[in-house]
Amino acid sequence: MEQTNQNDSMSARNTEYSKQQLARQGYVLSNLWHIDDVLQSYEDLTVEQAEEVLENALNNERVMERIFEQIDYEVALIIK
C-alpha cells in the first residue's frame, strides 16, 4: 500500500510538472477533462471507451466552432 501511495504521489508531481511546462508554453490548462468525468456518469464504459467519448466530444466540429465564437465574444468585451 505504501508503494502505491508513493507511486500516486510521484504521478501527481509528474502531472503537475507537465502542466507547468505546458502553461509556460502558452497553453491554458484550467479546463482539463479526465476519463473519470465520463466514468462517474457512465460506469459501464471501459477506460478506452471513456477516452474515445472525450476525444470525440472535445474534437466535435460544433464544439470547436462554439469555442471560437466565445473567444470572439470575450475579445470583444476586452477591446470595447
Q: How far is CA 48 from the centre of its chain?
A: 16
**For residue 2, pLDDT beyond 80:** no
pTM: predicted TM-score of the whole model, two decimal places:
0.72
Cell of 54: 472525450
**For residue 7, pLDDT beyond 90:** no
Domain enclosing residue 41, as ranges: 2-78
- Could you say which DSSP state residue 54 is in? H
Q: Which residue carries 462554439 as its cell?
A: 66
**For residue 3, pLDDT beyond 90:** no
pLDDT in tens, 8-58: 788 889 999 999 999 999 999 999 999 999 999 999 999 999 999 999 999
Rounded to whole angstroms, the Cα distance separating 48 from 62 reads 23
